[in-house]
């Protein structure tokens, strides 16, 4: 099997770094580009080709195994048949030997019926072993077919035994070869699968990282476009501050007083010192809860005019002004991040408000610059 080039570790490392940084909401310090993904794709294709080649080798190994297995079965069958035949011939040989032995004994015991045997049988001139051989020879001469059958059967059995020995040896060799082929098959399959799986994992990881990076980049692009539209809308609204701003500039805005309130459009009303009113006075009971109209960061301060004050810098780019508070919510600190609807203070009459005229002076500055009339905005959401 040809050696397989390991996939680039850099692709997987970059993918992991990008995924980690994106999961943590950070702009990735490293980025993965289409070139890296394409390289991973090419390496996966190469691994697929090499896996195909390995599988072709595997097919050849399977064919070899099947051939060996077929021969193994054939030889096994032949060995069993030979053993059966040998057992049969062995039984036949025993029968023939018994038959020949019986004839020899019969010839010896009935010598008066066989003249040739009397001529040979002379205890005084020959040893018993010679007489026995002569007796056997005379017996065989009388019926040579039994001996011929014995010799033929013995020869055939010896031939079959030699064939059995050869087949048994071949059977052992075949089993060794078959075991080796099986091991090779497993090695080929495991190696091919592992290489492709690694290449595929790298490619999938790189593709996923690139897709996530593109998704975040698209989100960032859309966010910048939305911010730009917000800035454009704010600039347009600043041309006529007395008319307020469209609700699109204050997305998710809620009433700043979480209690019944009454108010009128008092924008531009004259104030002491030649000033004009730049907000909406929202009257409510003493210490009525005041809430954040949006997610953002609060800045806490006091002044002779506004008394206890909160400036809320909303995430959507509008600065909201809360004045005349009786106090802050417990635990609220300067610079704290708050969420929409969170309690931030209480309605009061601090600063230059008339004693007992408990109200919230609520102001709006889109982009944190020019004040605009908040009345249309609060009128739309406050009961």
Q: Confidence class of residue 279 from pLDDT cuts 50, 70 and 90? A: very high
Check whether 4 has a pLDDT greater than 50: no
Do 9-214 and 247-381 agree at the fold level? no
Can you give the length of the chain in residues? 383
Beta strands in the chain (DSSP E): 270-271, 275-276, 280-283, 289-291, 296-303, 307-314, 318-328, 337-338, 343-347, 359-366
d(CA 114, CA 152): 28
> The domain at 247-381 falls in which architecture?
Distorted Sandwich (2.70)
- Residue-wise pLDDT for 311-350, tens only, equals 999 999 999 999 999 999 999 999 999 999 999 999 999 9
Non-local CB neighbours of 279 within 8 Å, separated by 6+ positions? 266, 267, 321, 323, 361, 362, 363, 364, 371, 374
State how far the Cα of 264 lies from the Cα of 244, in Å rounded to an integer. 14
Using one digit for the tens of pLDDT, what is the confidence trace for 177-221? Answer: 777 877 877 777 777 778 778 888 888 888 888 888 889 889 999
- Lowest mean pLDDT, pick from 97-106, 277-286, 302-311, 342-351: 97-106
Q: What is the domain partition of the chain in residue ranges? A: 9-214, 247-381
Report how far residue 332's alpha carbon sits from residue 48's, in angstroms, rounded to the nearest whole number: 62
Q: What is the pLDDT at residue 5? A: 42
Between CA 42 and CA 200 the distance in angstroms is 10
Residue found under tokens 């995430």: 315
Which tops the pLDDT comparison, 228 or 365?
365
Predicted confidence at residue 119, as pLDDT, reads: 43
Q: Which two tokens stand for residue 152?
A: 């033929």
Q: Is the pLDDT of residue 132 over 70?
A: no
**What DSSP line would sit under 348-362, residue for residue?**
B--TTSPTT--EEEE
pLDDT given for residue 363 in this prediction = 97
Q: Please state the rounded mean pLDDT for residues 271-284.
A: 92
Contact call for residues 118 and 150 (beta carbons, < 8 A): no
Angle between helices 144-237 and 9-23 (to 10 degrees): 40
Look over the chain and give the mean of its residue pLDDT values, rounded to a whole number. Answer: 79
Distance CA 1, CA 57 (A): 7
Choose between 132 and 97: higher pLDDT. Answer: 97
Which of 302, 296, 299, 301 lies closest to 315 in space, CA to CA? 296
Per the model's pLDDT, the better-predicted residue between 42 and 101 turns out to be 42
State both tokens at 215: 């998704």
Which pLDDT score is estimated for 126?
47
Between CA 240 and CA 96 the distance in angstroms is: 134
Token pair belonging to 46 = 């190469």
Exposure on the CB side of residue 10, measured as CA atoms within 13 A: 8
Task: Please determine, for residue 7, whether its predicted confidence score (pLDDT) is greater than 90.
Answer: no
User: What average pLDDT does range 258-277 have in this prediction?
Assistant: 93
The model carries a pTM of 0.47
Please answer whether residues 374 and 361 qualify as being in contact, where contact means their C-beta atoms are separated by less than 8 angstroms. no
Percentage of residues in the chain with pLDDT exceeding 90? 33
Question: What CATH topology corresponds to 9-214?
Answer: Helix Hairpins (1.10.287)
């Amino acid at each position: 099997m040809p050696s397989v080039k390991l996939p680039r570790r850099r692709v997987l490392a970059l993918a992991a770094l990008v995924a980690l940084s994106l999961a943590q909401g950070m702009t990735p310090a490293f980025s993965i580009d289409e070139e890296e993904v394409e390289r991973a794709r090419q390496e996966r294709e190469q691994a697929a080709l090499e896996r195909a080649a390995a599988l072709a080798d595997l097919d050849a190994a399977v064919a070899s195994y099947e051939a060996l297995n077929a021969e193994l079965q054939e030889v096994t069958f032949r060995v069993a048949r030979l053993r059966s035949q040998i057992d049969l011939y062995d039984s036949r040989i025993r029968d023939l030997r018994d038959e020949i032995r019986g004839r020899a004994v019969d010839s010896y015991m009935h010598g008066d019926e066989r003249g040739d045997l009397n001529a040979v049988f002379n205890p005084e001139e020959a040893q018993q072993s010679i007489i026995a051989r002569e007796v056997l020879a005379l017996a065989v001469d009388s019926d040579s077919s039994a001996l011929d059958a014995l010799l033929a059967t013995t020869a055939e059995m010896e031939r079959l035994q030699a064939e059995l020995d050869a087949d048994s040896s071949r059977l052992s060799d075949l089993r060794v070869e078959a075991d080796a082929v099986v091991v090779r098959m497993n090695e080929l399959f495991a190696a091919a699968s592992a290489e492709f799986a690694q290449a595929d994992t790298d490619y999938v990881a790189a593709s996923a990282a690139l897709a996530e990076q593109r998704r975040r980049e698209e989100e960032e692009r859309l966010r910048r476009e939305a911010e730009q539209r917000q800035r454009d809308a704010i600039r347009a609204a600043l041309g006529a501050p007395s008319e307020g701003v469209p609700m699109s500039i204050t997305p998710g805005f809620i009433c700043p007083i979480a209690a019944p309130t009454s108010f009128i459009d008092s924008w531009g009303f004259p104030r002491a010192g030649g000033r004009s009113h730049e907000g909406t006075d929202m009257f409510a009971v003493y210490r009525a809860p005041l809430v954040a109209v949006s997610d953002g960061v609060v800045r806490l301060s006091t002044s002779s005019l506004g008394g206890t004050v909160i400036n809320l810098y909303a995430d959507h780019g509008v600065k909201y002004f809360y004045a005349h508070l009786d106090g802050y919510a417990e635990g609220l600190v300067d610079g704290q991040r708050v969420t929409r609807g969170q309690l931030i203070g209480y309605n009061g009459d601090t600063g230059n408000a008339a004693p007992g005229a408990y109200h919230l002076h609520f102001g709006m500055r889109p982009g944190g610059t020019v004040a605009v009339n908040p009345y249309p905005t609060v009128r739309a959401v406050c009961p």
